């Protein structure tokens, strides 16, 4: 592992677990066992380090989401369900603190660099839902907005309530949004939604 990756991995774990403001550069240097000059050579400021941590997390989350949407055997509805079920698996852990991007903005919102990465991430997640709805050959914008809001709401609810079941409630709501948009019925006993009615 490169020195920069080692520093980033160490800092990222500390930032997420303990909070950005609570973790100073000296703590990161100590935990990563590197010289302060080495850290600053790779990351000119804490602001740069926080942004790099969020960018790395952004890439990991998007990779996971794109793995779902690129699975040819999964229908669009199943992709939505799997996205929320993967989130449930992550949320069902004592280490889970909610959305790293929301936490970062709450603590470090005066940094345009940090806010920019967080906004990029939120837009990218919505684009994932847009792509799923486009694959279902349905209007994408409103449904994608609803689904991404459910995804964000699940993250926030688990962070506060510590109950990962909220993610499964959000999944069921997202599937209802999909069913209403596509005219599918949720169960065999229900009539399909009539978009002309």
pLDDT tens profile 113-139? 999 999 999 999 999 999 999 999 887
- For 79, other C-beta atoms within 10 Å of its C-beta total 21
**pLDDT-above-70 percentage for the chain:** 93
What is the Rg, in whole angstroms, of the alpha carbon atoms belonging to the chain? 19
* pLDDT category of residue 188 using cuts at 50, 70 and 90: very low
The answer for residues whose C-beta is within 8 angstroms of residue 14's C-beta and 6 or more apart is 23, 27, 28, 31
Torsion of CA 142, 145, 148, 150, to 10 degrees: -80
**Mean confidence (pLDDT) of the chain:** 91
Cβ–Cβ under 8 Å, residues 8 and 56: yes
Q: Which helix (H) or strand (E) holds 137?
A: none
102: nearest Cα among 163, 31, 158: 158
Token pair recorded at residue 137: 């050959």
* pLDDT category of residue 109 using cuts at 50, 70 and 90: confident
User: Does 186 score more than 60 pLDDT?
Assistant: no
User: Does 190 score more than 50 pLDDT?
Assistant: no
Q: What pLDDT is attached to residue 52?
A: 97
Q: What pLDDT is attached to residue 139?
A: 75
Mean pLDDT (whole number) for 99-113: 93
Class of the CATH-defined domain 46-182: mainly alpha
Each domain of the chain, given as residue ranges in start order, spans 1-44, 46-182
3-state SS, one letter per residue, for 48-89: HHHHHHHHHHHHHHHHHHHHHHCCCCCCHHHHHHHHHHHHHH
Opening angle at CA 50, ends 48 and 56, nearest 5? 100
Token pair recorded at residue 42: 């790779």
* pLDDT category of residue 1 using cuts at 50, 70 and 90: confident
Token pair recorded at residue 107: 């603590």
- The predicted-structure confidence for 28-79, as pLDDT tens digits, reads as follows 999 999 999 999 999 999 999 999 999 999 999 999 999 999 988 999 999 9
- For 123, other C-beta atoms within 10 Å of its C-beta total 11
Task: Say how far apart CA 159 and CA 53 lie, in whole Å.
Answer: 20
Class of the CATH-defined domain 1-44: mainly alpha
């Amino acid at each position: 592992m490169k020195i920069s990756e080692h520093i980033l991995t160490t800092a990222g774990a500390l930032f997420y677990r303990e909070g950005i403001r609570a973790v100073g550069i000296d703590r990161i240097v100590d935990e990563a066992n590197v010289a302060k000059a080495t850290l600053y050579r790779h990351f000119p400021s804490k602001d740069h380090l926080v942004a790099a941590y969020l960018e790395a997390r952004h890439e990991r989350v998007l990779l996971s989401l794109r793995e779902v949407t690129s699975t040819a055997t999964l229908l669009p509805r199943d992709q939505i369900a799997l996205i929320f079920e993967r989130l449930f698996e992550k949320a069902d852990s004592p280490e889970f603190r909610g959305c790293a991007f929301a936490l970062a903005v709450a603590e470090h919102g005066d940094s345009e660099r940090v806010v920019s990465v967080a906004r990029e991430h939120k837009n990218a997640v919505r684009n994932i839902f847009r792509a799923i709805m486009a694959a279902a050959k349905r209007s994408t914008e409103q449904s994608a907005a609803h689904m991404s809001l459910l995804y964000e709401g699940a993250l926030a609810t688990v962070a506060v309530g510590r109950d990962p079941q909220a993610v499964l409630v959000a999944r069921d709501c997202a599937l209802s949004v999909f069913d209403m948009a596509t005219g599918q019925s949720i169960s065999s006993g229900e009539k399909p939604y009539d978009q002309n009615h």
